[in-house]
Amino acid sequence: MIASLLVGLSLFNASITEIVSFPINPTGEVYVGKYFRDTTYGRYNIDVGIEVSTDLVDVAGQRFFISYRDELEAGKQLGNVAFDPFMAHYYLTGGFRFNLFDKATVSTYLVHDCIHNIDRSYDSLKVVFNRVTFAAGTPGAFNNRNLEHIKEGAWYERFNARLTYAWYPHDTVIDALNSTDLFHDYQIDLIFDQPIYKNIYASARIYAYFARFRPGWDSDTLNLDPFWEHKFAPQAGIGVLRGDRVALELYLRYWVSANFRLHAPDPWPYLGLHLRFR
């Protein structure tokens, strides 16, 4: 009886370990970029940022993940000060990724982020966001998985796309935590990498962002009706691979958009250096 019970427990434990795992495999990016011109008294000059994401629990291919992102905007002062930290944007994210037959990924997650002034007398421009987010796309658009396909993959393995929708709930409790008039946004990311020679590749990107504002007590507009704003940027670059886990890319982006109230570098060219890893 006891022997049968032990055998049963061992078989149960073996089956569980085949289904549940705890992968810790960070993936992310680091970037730095320079705007070619600035029409707002040094407000936009250099941007830097880092993002790290990792899956914590895997249940039959469906994963719970966490992510941290930090973006720094640096302006320029008169004289020789070219890197003047102006604002920092922090993101904390947690949620679930669902793998669909290893061909697509669907994800749902919560995002808390905030923008802070740096080295200013009063943090009057602090903006806080809390939102529920849904995203769908190719696996490589979520975790840099596409790096393994750049050198030898078919075109559809080197093409990645992602559509993201975010909902900003507003009620008595949430409005005490939020300080933004946003209540919907959509983001589209299209990414294509093409090998050129050995471990050198060319890249093309398209980024589009649409945000729905609902003017409130903190609004800076006299328009009392909800309205849309947008950002759009095509990008081209050239990169080099190290194995199939790291890529370093030099790229040129051009912001083509209307005047976006939260971040408005438009229409400005931008030269950046981008490190991706998985």
Interval 112-133: pLDDT, tens:
888 887 776 555 556 677 889 9
CA nearest neighbour of 211 among 189, 191, 232, 234: 232
Q: What percent of the chain has pLDDT over 90?
A: 36
User: What are the start-end ranges of the H helices in the chain?
Assistant: 2-19, 140-143, 155-158, 172-177
Domain 22-277 has CATH 1.20.1300.10: no
Flag whether pLDDT at 216 surpasses 60. no
User: What are the start-end ranges of the H helices in 2-118?
Assistant: 2-19
Residues 75-93: pLDDT tens digits? 887 767 778 888 888 999 9
The pLDDT, as a whole number, for residue 9 is 41
The pLDDT, as a whole number, for residue 25 is 83
Distance CA 125, CA 115 (A): 8
What's the distance, CA 178 to chain centroid? Answer: 20
Distance CA 72, CA 75 (A): 10
Q: Is-cis flag, bond preceding 267, omega within 30? A: yes
- Tokens found for residue 134: 């849904």
Distance CA 258, CA 229 (A): 7
Flag whether pLDDT at 155 surpasses 50. yes
The pLDDT, as a whole number, for residue 12 is 43
The pLDDT, as a whole number, for residue 188 is 95
The pLDDT, as a whole number, for residue 277 is 93
- Looking only at Cα atoms, what is the longest distance across the chain? 84
The pLDDT, as a whole number, for residue 268 is 80
Residues 11-66: pLDDT tens digits? 445 455 568 887 878 899 999 999 887 666 667 888 999 999 998 998 877 889 99
The pLDDT, as a whole number, for residue 184 is 85
173 vs 198, more confident: 198
AA identity, residue 188: I
The pLDDT, as a whole number, for residue 212 is 78
217 by DSSP, 3-state: which?
Answer: coil
The pLDDT, as a whole number, for residue 107 is 95
6 vs 192, more confident: 192
pLDDT, averaged across the chain: 81
Q: What percent of the chain has pLDDT over 70?
A: 75
The pLDDT, as a whole number, for residue 53 is 94
Flag whether pLDDT at 253 surpasses 60. yes
- Tokens found for residue 271: 């030269």
Helices (H) and strands (E) in the chain, counts: 4, 13
